[in-house]
Amino acid sequence: MSLSRRSFIVTGTLGAVALATAAWLRGSHAPAPTVARRALDGDAEAIFAAIAPVMLAGVWPEAPAARVLAQQETLTGIDAAVAGLAPAARGELHQLVALLSLPPVRIGLAGLHGSWQSASPAEVRRFLDRCRDSSLLTLRAAYDAFHALIFAAWYGNPRAWPAIGYPGPPEFAAPP
Amino acid sequence: MTSSTAVVIPDPVAEGLAGGWKVIDASRAERDLVLDADVVIIGTGAGGGTAAEILAASGRSVVLLEEGPLRSSRDFSLHEATTYPELYQESAARKTRDQAITILQGRCVGGGTTVNWTSSFRTPATTLDWWQREYGLADVSPAAMAPWFERMEERLSIAPWPVTPNANNSALARGAAALGIATPVMQRNVKGCWNLGYCDLGCPTNAKQSMLVTTIPAALEHGATLVTRVRADFFTTRGDAVSAVEAHAIDPATGQPLARRVTVRARSFVSAAGAIGTPALFLRSNLPDPHELVGRRTFLHPVVLSAAAMPEVIDGFAGAPQSVYTDHFQEGQALDGPIGFKLEVPPLHPLLTAVTLSGDGAQHASWMRDYRHLHVVLALLRDGFHPHSAGGRVHLRGDGTPVLDYPLTPYLFDGMRRAFVAMAQIQFAAGAQRVAPGHGPGTAYTTLAQAVAGIGAFELAPLVTRVVSAHVMGGAPFGPDPRRAVVDPTGRHHHLRNLYVCDGSIFPTSIGANPQLSIYAFAARIASGLARSLA
């Protein structure tokens, strides 16, 4: 991984071209998300829905209803966080999602022959390890973006706090 | 700490608003605004707030422009998920161009001072000496600056923290002491601090003497006008002077510009938009920059961190977040030698903790299960002194927003590797059961020998090594030589006679310590000079 600054710029540029091409290829045909969202389209929702349970393995409750709720709230949190990003950062994430949704990329890079919706945890795990350990800056940035958005969405949620022993912030009454 | 007997805290900002302060939320203005003033100040952080009080108290009419909202103690929820988008630049997720460094900057009235951790250091004498010698800044000696530090220390109740450090700070002190390393007590800008530990989410008790509760209220009492949710786009110039600043209202929901425009005409202009905002404003304005200095040599005190699980409960979310430090790894070492670093600890609220810990899955979960025992040390690298430490450069994107290109170089990586070893040594000496340097998948080590061997084999690289920054400095340096400085030693632009810079942009290197008191002191000096010239 001891790449020079120059090769980082080159891989960064190649990555940017690939990302922009993917976004262009997809055009405006991204599917709609399952519920009304501010920033995530259906493709982005599917990718985050596949990755979040793997990054948060062993963290969400086991009981089915509570688990579904945790997943839904995490996706809602990610959506809110993405909506709050600067346009440039949102654009980069949009391009990344477009790239990962292209079948050749999904198969070749992520090793997923089916859709993101049908990806197994083991397949997602392999994809995340590949991104994290990649020599390409773009893929490491992708891992970092998933990491930041997913952990922020879950651990910013008071539902996550009892399990880690965080009592929540002190409360003050509003002045009269 | 959740209490059923909630306490009512008086809110001085709410009282001031009720008492008739002139505050305009540009996003709710019904028409374009055109304002006239003696001085317009762009930015309300450490530099802009300090300048506002001095200029308003000297009898000048002052307009303050702030990109973020006016939020005060009654609004501070202390919940990270809502606070970061509300009070921080780019939701606390601002990144350098290659995404490798996360930059924390305030974006609200009070700027960084509303959300910083209160650590207050005078500019180190070594740094001031260096500026005198290398940058021709003849009158910045420690003796010449002492009255300015004293003035701002008094104004902001800056004093050594008299309370026992919280457990996160104590662990740093204990580990360092076991190795014979001193950890002095920090100075903090607080008055009647409750020792809660939520400085980074807005002080809920108004104990932190940020600009929000000190200089800005004072300026408003003197009749200054504060315009919030407005982003300065560019200066218009006529000859060798600035004639107006053009700005747009910002949509609170999206952070994006609205159609509503704000124009401020003034005799003098003070840029205090921070070390990314000020250079970006100058670049958008196409100001004279014959030596292409604007936005170059931007410094970050790049930070690497080390996590440890301690046997005792640490509860790093509670208590004054920073109260001890050590300069053992930079003090007495050549400024232009291998890079030195300062060690401190951060507050550990759950969202930022989870985002900052490396790795994911079962390993990340195991650290979060140990959250109450988590101890984290930060190493702040002293950049900008060595020829191989030229910092970064602020560029403009197509939409005019700034992005900082800050290359991580072998010179910096050398310091980061030494810092990882130093932090692991201290954490094991303090009794750590396991230590995980912020690098790669976040591998944990259970002995110092393992950690040292592991760190020695790290392939340090962007987006492999976790790097963050909360201190942006430089990009519009001061100095007597127009070939090397954007503004002169009084803070005035070398080519525009009524434009001043009053923020961390003026520093020709990094500070080598948390910069807020440096910004206060230099801003007070620059603003006082400007006030005299306008009298």
pLDDT in tens, B15-74: 999 999 999 999 999 999 999 999 999 999 999 999 999 999 999 999 999 999 999 999
Give B279→chain A minimum CA distance, Å.
19
Count Cβ atoms within 10 A of the Cβ of residue B174 and give its class: 0-12 exposed, 13-18 middle, 19 or more buried. middle
> Is ipTM > 0.85 here?
yes
Judged by a CB distance cut-off of 8 A, whether residue A152 touches chain B is: yes
Contacts of B17 in chain A (CB under 8 A): none
Q: What is the pLDDT of residues B246-255, one digit of tens each?
A: 999 999 988 8
For residue B11, the chain A residues in CB contact (below 8 A) are 175
Find where tokens 């350990």 sit: A133
Are B256 and A87 in contact (CB < 8 Å)? Answer: yes
The predicted structure's pLDDT at residue B233: 98
Q: Judge whether A89 is closer than 8 Å to chain B, CB to CB.
A: yes
What pLDDT sits at residue B5?
A: 55
Interface-testing mutation among B1, B76, B89, B95, with chain A (most A C-beta atoms within 10 A) = B95
- Inform me whether the C-beta atom of residue A81 falls under 8 Å from chain B C-beta atoms: yes
Alpha-carbon distance A120 to A16, whole Å?
A: 28
Residue A4 at interface with chain B, using a CB cutoff of 8 Å: no
Cβ-proximal residues to A10 (8 Å cutoff; 6+ apart), any chain: none
Please tell me whether residue B19 adopts helix, strand or coil conformation: coil
What integer pLDDT is reported at residue A31 of this predicted model? 80
Task: Name the residue among A133, A71, A142 with its Cα closest to residue A101.
Answer: A142
Query: Given CA atoms B212, B217, B219, B224 in this order, what sign does their dihedral have?
Result: positive
pLDDT given at position A34: 83
Pair A90, A82: CB distance under 8 Å = yes
Please identify every stretch of chain B with a pLDDT value under 50, giving residue numbers as ranges.
1-4
So what's the pLDDT on residue A10? Answer: 42
Interface of A with B in 14-43 (CB under 8 A): none
Identify the CA nearest to B346 among candidates B382, B322, B374, B381.
B322
How far apart CA B438 and CA B357 sit, in angstroms, is 7
pLDDT (0 to 100) of residue A22: 62
Closest to B395 in 3D by CA, of A88, A61, A56: A88
Asked if A174 and B74 come within 8 Å (Cβ–Cβ), the reply is: yes
Q: Which residues of B touch A12 (CB under 8 A)?
A: 98
Chain A and chain B share a number of CB contacts under 8 A equal to: 158
pLDDT at residue A9, as a whole number: 41
- pLDDT over 90 percentage in chain B: 97
Cβ–Cβ below 8 Å for A166 and B371 = yes
Taking CB atoms and an 8 Å limit, are A5 and B198 in contact across chains? no
pLDDT score, position A23: 62
Name residues whose C-beta falls within 8 Å of residue B213's C-beta, 6 or more positions apart in sequence: B12, B13, B72, B203, B206
Please judge whether A172 and B80 are an interchain contact, meaning their C-beta atoms are less than 8 angstroms apart: no
B372 and A80 within 8 Å at the Cβ level: the answer is no
What does the pLDDT read at residue A20? 63
Mutation target vs B (from A60, A82, A125, A155; most B CBs, 10 A cutoff): A155
Q: Is A10 on the interface with B (CB under 8 A)?
A: no
Do the chains contact at A166 and B362, CB–CB below 8 Å?
Answer: no
Residue ranges for chain A with pLDDT beneath 50: 1-12
b (16+ CB within 10 A) / e for B201-211 = bbbbbbbbbbb
- Residue of chain A whose Cα is closest to the Cα of B359: A147
B394 contacts: CB under 8 Å, gap ≥ 6: B276, B279, B280, B283, B294, B295, B296, B298, B402, B403, B404, B405, B475
How close does chain B come to A11, measured CA to CA in Å? 11
